[in-house]
Structure 1
């Protein structure tokens, strides 16, 4: 009988997990958990992040529960950030407005106000955070993407050379229509250039998604060649890239350890996502001064130590001397052999004359 009760309880728990998915996001290693309180404006209740429908100029209040998972107090800083496209074709989030594209108007961070930007939770207590969302007064298409960051606030601790930022991010996507936002159909190549990045010589192709929708499943094939000789210098193929709405990023092609020469180059790119295809071609020039500067400053180049250069020179000189000595010795031996041969011939002649 008890066994049957246990089975019934387990089945009931499983049914609860299916019907009421857990919206709490564990961050036990941080000392707290974060969970979104469902909003009446939620478009998709299956999502654990905020995916909200907005009306122009109509304010909304969002609620988030923050719960302590330890006795010790945890100080948490709360702030919004905006979506952008990272260097490796991933959707990332940032506070740095310089990383945002000019086509992104009124980003999420400009529409959100956290009533209590810093809170402290301790001894397993739970607090509710209120976030004010004020959508644009004018209608917008597509979506605006960002996250609410709940970050451990270490401002009161002693400063160190290296700091690890621990945080939890709660997604925030807003839309007026709730239509599919993963079907952007536009892509632009803004610029091609060569420069140093992270100490590496790079060719950078700046790609832009000008639509307020996500551009997904990109496969990029790119090649760089010398314009004059048509010689292919570098090829690169990647798959699975995606771009956040109204964003740009620099597609990187590592030049490697080869020496860069000044001249005019041509970048050819083919980009596809199974539904759309884009072909780009763009020229860019590297001056002799730029090439020399990149070659000198690159941290990734073949550097031969001085002792190897000296040893190699000595080895070459030694080899040359040995070869010369061998040739001289061979010449002497040949001369000696010729002299001996002449002497033998004279002896033979004398013997014949004596007979």
Structure 2
């Protein structure tokens, strides 16, 4: 018991040390960027407590936003400034990327179409500060809700030092535009557009395309998903998630990961029951996985169990060897039992003979 407690204490200590070490590494990486970015709140800022831009716009009018970029080291850093739109990641978070394929069809005049950066690239060094100006021109026609995105200040990759894949480090300053300060996290519409089987990131998946077509955020969304075989009513797969957040006018693929198991063919119904503090949604979609689709997806997936030929051969040899050993031991045991039986009989006969002689 004492050994178990001691082992548990060592394990907890190791986990604590690893967490502290990780935290220090991230902090060091952030400082090594060589610059910091601070948004300067404009007079049109709707909420002064927000650390990002949340600005009021007037149809057709242009306003200028300012960012202070300060160098934190002597060496020069080259930076690029650009805008991105808010999308919903497959993990159910609001993300800011340049992935044009993720832009939803309901998003008209996105943030990127409203922005114009005065100086798209700058160089800062030797602890200097520079102010970057970004113009925001509102759509000519009034719009409802909000438009959401971010202004990115990113390091320009050094082509001489860059080898293979690289990670882009950057600052992202959130930008929300609105014509008023009304609540924008109470989206009321959620759609299940499609359900299908597919390969994603090398994994076998069933993907459900969920859409928020409104110019508002759907916040703190809990989803219970059930995949049912249509003919038998048997539940094939279940998944529950919590605290998902959907960007305005966005869509994403809700993932049902099949892991190492083969994806089965058949006709199915996907049911999704979602709710937050404001609304409840009960969505359903029928879909089919053909034999050909299932075979192709299972064959292409990199996440599957494959037994090497040599392992099969070794397993067979081990099984045969085990059987031979077991047979040998069984034969020897029977042989010894017979010998002991003969010896016991001989002893009994000898004992009887001695008793007769005494009489």
Task: Find the counterpart in structure 1 of residue 66 from structure 2.
Answer: 63
Cα–Cα, structure 1 residues 73 and 323, in superposed 2: closer, same or farther, change >3 Å?
closer
Residue in structure 2 matched with residue 165 of structure 1 by the alignment: 168
CA distance in 1, matches of 2:162, 2:32: 22
Give the corresponding residue for 1:115: 118
Task: Encode CA deviations 1:109-144: one digit per residue, 9 max, x unaligned.
Answer: 110000100011111111111111111000000000
| More moved, 315-324 vs 261-270 | 315-324
Question: What is the DSSP-based 3-state SS (H/G/I as helix, E as strand, rest coil) of the residue aligned with 2:302?
Answer: coil
Give 1:131's aligned residue.
134
Q: Which one has the largest radius of gyration?
A: 1
Structure 1 SS opposite 2:240: strand
Deviation at 1:206, TM superposition (A): 0.6
Q: Aligned match of 2:269 in 246, 250, 266?
A: 266
Q: Spell out, residue by residue over 1:163-214, the C-alpha distance to the aligned partner (whole angstroms, 9 max, x if none).
A: 1211111111100011111110110000001111111111111100011010
Q: Is the 8 A contact 2:185 2:219 kept in 1?
A: yes
**Counterpart in the other structure of 1:233:** 236
Aligned equivalents of 1:132, 1:301: Cα separation in 2: 51
Please report how far the alpha carbon of residue 68 of structure 1 lies from its aligned counterpart in structure 2 after TM superposition.
Answer: 1.2
CA drift at 1:323: 9.8
Listed one character per residue, the Cα deviations across residues 42-101 of structure 1 (whole Å, up to 9, x for unaligned) are: 111111211100000001011111111111111111000000000110000111221111
Q: Is the 8 A contact 2:186 2:278 kept in 1?
A: no
Query: Could you tell me the TM-score, scaled by structure 2's length?
Result: 0.79
Q: What is aligned with 1:13?
A: none
In the comparison of the two structures, how many residue pairs are matched? 305
Following superposition, which runs of at least 4 residues in structure 1 exceed 6 angstroms of deviation?
317-327
Structure 1 residue 269 displacement after superposition: 1.0
Provide the rounded CA distance (Å) in 2 between the counterparts of 1:303 and 1:61: 59
Alignment of 1:301-340 (within 5 A): 301-314=304-317
Task: Indicate the residue corresponding to 2:258 in structure 1.
Answer: 255
Given the two structures, how large is their TM-score scaled by the length of structure 1?
A: 0.80
- Mapped partners of 1:141, 1:205: distance in 2: 28
* 1:178 and 2:205 correspond: no
Confirm or deny that 1:199 pairs with 2:202: yes
Stretch of structure 1 that moved more, 225-234 or 110-119: 225-234
Query: Offset of 1:265 from its aligned partner?
Result: 1.4
Structure 2 counterpart SS, 1:76: strand
1:223 aligns with 2:199: no
Q: Give me the whole-angstrom Cα distance separating, in 1, the residues matched to 2:51 and 2:235.
A: 48
Superposition pairs for residues 42-81 of structure 1, below 5 Å? 42-81=45-84
How many Å apart are 1:294 and its aligned residue? 1.2
RMSD, aligned α-carbons:
2.3
